[in-house]
Amino acid sequence: MRKYISYISLLLVFCFSCSKVPLTGRKQLNLIPSSQVNSLANQQYSEVLKENKLSTNQQQTQLINKVGKRLSTAIETYMKQNGMEDEIKGFKWEFNLIQDDNTVNAWCMPGGKVAFYTGIMPICQDENGVAVVMSHEIAHAIAEHGNERMSQQLALQLGGTGLSIALQQKPQLTQQLAMAAFGLGTQVGILLPYSRSHESEADEIGIYIMAMAGYDPHAAIPFWQRMDKQGGAKPPEFLSTHPDPANRIKNIEKAIPKAMKMAKKQA
Ligand SMILES: [Zn+2]
């Protein structure tokens, strides 16, 4: 009997916390207030910037900023025009290039805090390549994949009754549990690899954002081919959970016609 009550309360919490991912419409479960996730991410971001050296390459740094501003403005405009401005209310975009030639990586923390590492720049090759990576990373944040991943872990840890009580009466406890569950005190915690389905969704949304911003989404195909050829150790965001390269390109090709329509609408 207790088990059933747990299930029922878990279901109730699920219903109240369901939201829809922008642009794909997939239903997701986000249990933690975005404001909490964003402020955790902000703290992490300042730590990362403190611990790492920023690139002194003016040209590349400017490129990262230019592409980041163009893509974030495009998705913000889209969200506002489609009544979703509340979902990005707490976003404070920031784009930085970290000096580290051995790290082939980039990420966007919840709330719009982006970092590129200089090691990924040769694979990007040019502005279009930067836009492929940047739009993919921004998509993870827009789709709130971080919150969703944390929520799944939180639900697993607490179970039904514990979870509903924690959420209703002890928001502080919820936050502590979330932090403990994910090791949010460490850089690794917030940058754990996304699931394969999150990766595919970020690919799809990324293509749409590129098109909205006036970039050619076809650029994603040669970029992922170059990334695939890049051997050796890959960083978390580009690790094993990434979709099989052939599948990934098929999915991207499938999303391109819709992206091209969005490009026209926005123009
Ligand atoms: Zn990703």
pLDDT digits (tens, 9 = 90+) for 1-20: 455 545 545 544 554 567 89
Q: Which residues pair with 113 in a beta bridge?
A: 94, 109
Alpha-carbon span 179 to 186, nearest angstrom: 9
Supply the pTM of this predicted model.
0.83
The alpha carbon of 43 and the centre of ligand 1 are apart by a number of angstroms equal to 21
User: What confidence score (pLDDT) does residue 44 get?
Assistant: 83
User: What confidence score (pLDDT) does residue 178 get?
Assistant: 55
Region 171-189: mean pLDDT is 50
The alpha carbon of 110 and the centre of ligand 1 are apart by a number of angstroms equal to 13
Region 202-207: mean pLDDT is 96
User: What confidence score (pLDDT) does residue 184 get?
Assistant: 43
Residue 85 near residue 79 (C-beta atoms within 8 A): yes
The alpha carbon of 116 and the centre of ligand 1 are apart by a number of angstroms equal to 13
C-alpha dist (Å) from residue 182 to 112, 157, 167, 178: 19, 11, 17, 6
Range name among 123-132, 183-192, 244-253 with the lowest pLDDT average = 183-192
The alpha carbon of 126 and the centre of ligand 1 are apart by a number of angstroms equal to 20
Strands, DSSP E only, in the chain?
A: 18-20, 27-29, 94-98, 106-109, 113-117
User: What confidence score (pLDDT) does residue 232 get?
Assistant: 54
In this predicted model, which residue has the larger pLDDT, 165 or 72?
72
Residue 40 near residue 32 (C-beta atoms within 8 A): no
The alpha carbon of 202 and the centre of ligand 1 are apart by a number of angstroms equal to 6
Residue 244 burial (CB count, 10 A):
10
> What proportions of the chain, in percent to the nearest 5, are helix, strand and coil?
70, 10, 25
Alpha-carbon span 199 to 211, nearest angstrom: 19
The alpha carbon of 136 and the centre of ligand 1 are apart by a number of angstroms equal to 6
The alpha carbon of 98 and the centre of ligand 1 are apart by a number of angstroms equal to 18
The alpha carbon of 216 and the centre of ligand 1 are apart by a number of angstroms equal to 19
- List, in order, residues 6 or more apart from 36 with CB less than 8 Å away: 175, 178
The alpha carbon of 1 and the centre of ligand 1 are apart by a number of angstroms equal to 41
The alpha carbon of 140 and the centre of ligand 1 are apart by a number of angstroms equal to 7
Domain extent listing, the chain: 34-145+190-266
The alpha carbon of 196 and the centre of ligand 1 are apart by a number of angstroms equal to 9
Is residue 191's pLDDT more than 80?
no
